Homo-oligomer: A and B are copies of this chain.
Amino acid sequence: MASTSPSQISEQALTTLLADVRAFVDAELLPLEPLFAQAGRFDAVEPQLNQVREKVKANGWWLPQLPKEVGGMGLGLTAFGRLGEVLGRSIFGHYVFNAQAPDAGNMEVLLEHASPAQRETYLEPLLRGDIRSCFAMTEPDNPGSNPLQLSTTALQQEDGRFRIDGRKWFTTGADGSAFTIVMAITDPTGHPYGRASMLIVPTGAEGYDLVRNIPVMGEAGDGWMSHGEVLFKNCRVPADQLLGNAGGGFSIAQERLGPGRIHHCMRWIGIAERAFDTMCSRAVSRELAPGKPLGSRQFVLGWIADSRAEIDAARLLVLDVAQLIEREGGYAARHRVSLIKFHVAGMLQKVLDRAIQAHGALGLTDETPLAFWFRHERAARIYDGPDEVHRVRLAKAILKDYRASQNDTRAAPTT
């Protein structure tokens, strides 16, 4: 995958970059948060964000997750991971660097699998930030935890075109997208892992219908900050909309998820750091009684100490896995990716909860971003496979090594 190519940046240059980007995020994006909070709509800040995007481009920071050959910064996965943490400090960090999900994942898939024509039509404008895209995989009637259970079909017709029928939901950013990459069954009788393919569907295609933006934690959202329910009903696309090989859907999805999860994890760490920052600032500024700041209380000190340890541990774990992916590839690292997925998501929820508690009633309002993340990042433990699925997968992989070595008790399994 593109994002896993080795870093093209020195440690020193990276340190400077991180400091610069942090200052940039704090100066350009944090002031936009109240505006968003007040309006509760993405389109209330979209124009300003698009202006910031121009500054990002001017600074040479566009597409930090991609190689230089395609207009990115060429950071490599680990270095981008560290940058992604800084971007995560703001709700809009990834967006203004054109590194936001689901577009970043779609870019990677297109870079790897798109035909020249597909590159020109879909990838190029995506890289330029002229359009947005979405990824339609999860279905309301099937557990997201089992990717083999899909109902949506894309059956090739006599005229060569694919007819797509099915219902998807939690299609992030469908609202306003120029196209979606859809995962559908193309070969219902094939091998379970070879039944599905990916297809590119322009959102203007007949039979494609964005039914609604699903209210998540009470908010339907809009534009990039929404999760759509999409109905494909006798939706027909030409044969050349197939992305990659027929039957390759699962394998592309697997590829897409590995680095994507690293991105999520580092973004969560950025959120956790921001929450920590907010909690500590509150602890030194809020007085419970004259001369007795909140931070004089052991309960609060305990939250701070535990959060510091847990965030730092999580970061080291994620960067360790990022390096493993760079060294050995996503497949070799897949169980380690499971490990950080559930571990970091759990850490995030704990840190956000403590930061809110430290703010009292203020923590429930939108005067800090804590409440936004508390409700919207509850999803972190669910999407891309719930905690439970990742914990079981990891443990089973570990035990597999133990079973193999059962007659050789000296062996040291090291998954």
Contacts and interface: CB of A to CB of B under 8 A. Distances in A.
Nearest to A297: B298
B364 A381 contact: no
A302 B27 CA distance: 40
Contacts of A339: 305, 308-309, 312
Nearest to A26: B410
A9 interface: no
A261 interface: no
A378 B360 contact: no
Contacts of A360: 143-145, 382, 386
Contacts of A217: 217-218, 364, 371, 374-375
B406 A285 contact: yes
Contacts of A415: 308
Contacts of A33: none
Contacts of A310: 343
Contacts of A205: none
A245 interface: no
A49 to B, nearest CB: 19
A97 interface: no
Interface stretch (A117-125, A128-136, A247-255, A395-403): A395-403
Contact of A409 (B281, B342, B392): B281
A275 to B, nearest CB: 14
Interface residues of A, number: 92
A406 B410 CA distance: 52
Interface stretch (A51-59, A154-162, A180-188, A314-322): A314-322
B215 A365 contact: yes
A325 interface: no
Interface in A199-224: 214-219
A167 to B, nearest CB: 13
Contact of A412 (B22, B27, B308, B399): B22
Contact of A343 (B149, B309, B403): B309
A392 B356 contact: no
Count of this chain's copies in the oligomeric assembly? 4
B412 A143 contact: no
Interface string A288-303: 1100000101111110
Given A289-B146, A302-B395, A383-B361, A40 B313 contact: no
15 contacts: A143-B360, A169-B361, A170-B361, A217-B217, A217-B364, A280-B398, A281-B409, A283-B402, A284-B403, A295-B395, A297-B388, A312-B317, A316-B317, A316-B320, A364-B382
Contacts of A284: 399, 402-403, 406
A357 interface: yes
A272 interface: no
A363 interface: yes
Contacts of A113: none
A11 to B, nearest CB: 14
A317 to B, nearest CB: 5
Contacts of A22: 412
A60 interface: no
Contacts of A403: 284
A216 B40 CA distance: 12
A366 interface: yes
A40 B213 CA distance: 14
The 4 closest A-B pairs by CB, nearest first: A298-B298, A316-B316, A301-B395, A313-B313
Contact of A283 (B140, B297, B312, B399): B399
